[in-house]
Amino acid sequence: MKPIREAARLSGLSEKTIRYYEDMGLVTAARNPANGYREFSDCHIADLRFLHQAREMGFDLAACQQLLQLKNDPCRRSCDVKAMLQQHIDEIAQRVEQLQALQATLQQLADQCRGDDTSECAIIDGIASAECEHLAVSRKS
Amino acid sequence: MKPIREAARLSGLSEKTIRYYEDMGLVTAARNPANGYREFSDCHIADLRFLHQAREMGFDLAACQQLLQLKNDPCRRSCDVKAMLQQHIDEIAQRVEQLQALQATLQQLADQCRGDDTSECAIIDGIASAECEHLAVSRKS
DNA sequence: CTTGACCTTCCATTCGCTGGAACCTTTATG
DNA sequence: CATAAAGGTTCCAGCGAATGGAAGGTCAAG
């Protein structure tokens, strides 16, 4: 049983984040009844590290929770896990495409601007005239 | 002079968002002194459309505000605008690279998983073992 | 005179934390 | 024994960029 500081060090999460995850119901730490301090078993710490990794991989907390449940469910079917991951990959791919399209549009705009000491600016004009309605980038995630 | 509903329709922003932008100090609408209703000139509406476009291009509100000031500043230098845009493009490029790296890692992980009715799952194992520390994806924007 | 459309403000919620205040506990030191 | 440092606890506020909804004022038509 380890204190929160140790759990943070070993999991890569901050203490704040561990408490937050507990508030959110993702994990439940044991308590030292003498002083109310949290105590973490190696199991809990493995869960925390799992959550840390899943977050780094870009899953939101709801997905992280689901994945953690799958991790700890001996009756899980790996196809369910794979489906979740594939959906996430698809979302990332979509986001990449959006960003690349945006990047190309913006680079075009930048290329049209002389970028000197005068006030004439194709970029400002381009934004103002809003030629680029295909932008529609969902700015989430 | 047009009411907020019209301003929203013409700018592409929602009424809520227009009020929010005013709260944030990005724009200042005139007021009908009789009833306190906002009234928007064509100039204001152009500004709102500009903000809408700049947001769609992924600039944050602070950048949108700067860009709007540049738009309405006859003494601006287009090189300043271009510098802002180029910085934004660079950030997008960086984000694309991160996401592509993440996507590749996740696809590898997915490919290692049979995805059947059994519980054995390379994905869960992969997240748990956290082999992928290079992930470190800043999840912002 | 009432209905409905339109406008106003204000407060709460989202997501995933992070910072800080105020307070308790444990351990080490003068 | 006093105290200071280092750890722990809870709770509240804030970030960004809106969005949803409540409560209420205003206006034109029927």
Q: Is the pLDDT of residue B131 over 90?
A: no
Q: Which residue type occupies B31?
A: R
Question: Contact at 8 Å (CB) between B67 and A127?
Answer: yes
Q: Name chain B contacts of A67, Cβ cutoff 8 Å.
A: 124, 127
pLDDT (0 to 100) of residue A134: 55
Closest CA of chain B from A131, distance in Å: 9
Q: Is the pLDDT of residue B85 over 50?
A: yes
Length of chain A: 141
Question: Contact at 8 Å (CB) between B93 and A107?
Answer: no
Contact, B100 CB vs strand D, < 7 Å: no
Between B140 and B123, the higher pLDDT residue: B123
Q: B9-55, pLDDT tens digit by residue?
A: 999 999 999 999 999 999 999 999 999 999 999 999 999 999 999 99
Q: Which residue type occupies B75?
A: C
Q: B65-80, pLDDT tens digit by residue?
A: 999 999 999 999 999 9
Q: Name chain A contacts of B53, Cβ cutoff 8 Å.
A: 127-128, 130, 132, 135
Looking at the DSSP assignment, which residues form a beta bridge with residue B122? none
Q: How confident is the model at residue B130 (pLDDT cuts 50, 70, 90)?
A: confident
pLDDT (0 to 100) of residue B136: 53
Cβ contacts of B122 within 8 Å, gap of 6 or more: A78, B109, B112, B113, B114
pLDDT 10s digit of each residue in chain A, 141 long? 999 999 999 999 999 999 999 999 999 999 999 999 999 999 999 999 999 999 999 999 999 999 999 999 999 999 999 999 999 999 999 999 999 999 999 999 999 999 999 999 999 999 999 765 555 554 444
Probe site for chain B from A57, A59, A109, A139 (most B CB atoms < 10 A): A57
Q: How confident is the model at residue B139 (pLDDT cuts 50, 70, 90)?
A: very low
Q: B91-106, pLDDT tens digit by residue?
A: 999 999 999 999 999 9
* 3-class SS shares of chain B: helix, strand, coil, % to 5: 60, 5, 35
Q: Which of B57, B92, B128 sits opposite A71 (nearest CB)?
A: B128
Which secondary-structure segment (H or E) carries A64? helix A61-71
Query: Tokens 């984040």 identify what position?
Result: A17
Q: How confident is the model at residue B121 (pLDDT cuts 50, 70, 90)?
A: very high
Q: Which residue type occupies A8?
A: A
Q: Which of A74, A117, A124 sits opposite B71 (nearest CB)?
A: A124
Count Cα atoms within 13 angstroms, Cβ side, for B26: 26
pLDDT (0 to 100) of residue A131: 67
Q: Name chain A contacts of B102, Cβ cutoff 8 Å.
A: 57-58, 92
Cβ contacts of B29 within 8 Å, gap of 6 or more: B4, B7, B18, B22, B38, B39, B40, B44
pLDDT (0 to 100) of residue B83: 97
Looking at the DSSP assignment, which residues form a beta bridge with residue B2? B40
Q: Which of B78, B92, B120 sits opposite A103 (nearest CB)?
A: B92
* The two three-digit tokens of residue B107, written as one number: 């696809």
Q: Which residue type occupies A109?
A: L
pLDDT (0 to 100) of residue A49: 97
